[in-house]
Amino acid sequence: MTEWVLIVDDEAMIRENLKAYLEDEGWRVAAFESVAPALNWLRNGDPCRVCIMDMRLPDIDGNTAIRALHQTHPDLEFLIHTGSSSYSLPEDLRAMGLDDSRIYHKPLADMAPLAAAARRLAARGDWP
């Protein structure tokens, strides 16, 4: 079976590259440039377990988006892919179970670790 992964990033080439890489890895990828269409897709689309979230987005910032998505889809796991070097996780996000290992700084010279992490998170969701 092929898992869905949700990508939210306003940088088209980043989005495209991630999508290409993860598709090559066997994922079904839904990529959006902002949070609102992503939410729409989640509401209507197939179940999705992993979301790769950029922090600086055109409509709302990444942290808020994570909170909102977590609210509606508590099963969704997040990986943070940010261009900001000074990013640190807010406390409430940590309370959701996020930690520094979820943070991936741009630029990613190798996307393999990110893909591996996504796979681990998706697999974790299967067991309970």
d(CA 111, CA 128): 28
Instruction: Tell whether residue 18 is a contact of another protein (CB under 8 A).
Output: yes
Task: Select from 16-24, 34-42, 65-73, 118-126 the region that touches another protein (CB under 8 A).
Answer: 16-24
Cβ of 121: how many Cβ atoms within 10 Å?
19
- Copy the structure tokens of residue 19: 């999508």
Query: Which residue among 43, 44, 71, 85 contacts another protein (CB under 8 A)?
Result: 85
> Which residue from 44, 91, 101, 107 is in contact with another protein, where contact means CB under 8 A?
107
Q: Which is nearer to another protein, 7 or 76 (CB)?
A: 7
Query: Under rule CB under 8 A, which residues in 38-77 are in contact with another protein?
Result: 56
Alpha helix positions (H), the chain = 12-24, 35-44, 62-72, 91-95, 112-126
